[in-house]
Amino acid sequence: MMKIGDGRYAVAADAVEQIVDPAVEGDLRLDEAGAVYHGERLDLVDLHAAAAERRGGSPVYLLLQGARRRALVAVDGAEAIREVPAEEIAPLPAFIFMRPERAFRGVFPDGPGLRLLLDQDALL
């Protein structure tokens, strides 16, 4: 579970290799081309635009493994790990995201609201 701006989102836990906090991680360098982490050049994915959310002050990064590549995804906070049964996840109608590469693949109830589920394979 993660926060992007004021929104609450989720990603499959098995796609997250690591949570990288720049405040404590000395081997992370961000530049215009993306990021270098432990000597590996990685794309930097910013979901704030895809989710129409404003940026927070101090992002952390999720190191995600997708179907084709690894990348760092900027988020405003990593909250928890929780199992969500597949039957609770509703697919998003195609008209919501008209791009072929959809950033999100479903939605599920979480407390008083909903969370969008990131489609890391389509994104990465």
Q: How far apart are CA 108 and CA 83, in angstroms?
A: 12
Does residue 53 carry a pLDDT above 60?
Answer: yes
Domains contained in the chain, CATH given: 2-123 (2.40.50.180)
Q: What is the CA radius of gyration of the chain?
A: 14
Confidence of residue 39 (pLDDT cuts 50, 70, 90): very high
pLDDT for 77: 87
Confidence at 61, pLDDT banded by 50, 70, 90: very high
Asked if residue 81 has pLDDT above 60, the reply is: yes
pLDDT of residue 101: 59
- pLDDT beyond 90 at 21: yes
* Calpha distance 10→98 (Å, rounded): 21
- Reading the block at residue 22, the tokens are 């720049």
State yes or no: pLDDT of 124 exceeds 90. no
Least confident of 35-44, 57-66, 75-84, 114-123: 114-123
Residue 71 pLDDT: 92
Evaluate if residue 68 carries a pLDDT over 70: yes
For residue 36, the cross-strand partners are 29, 41
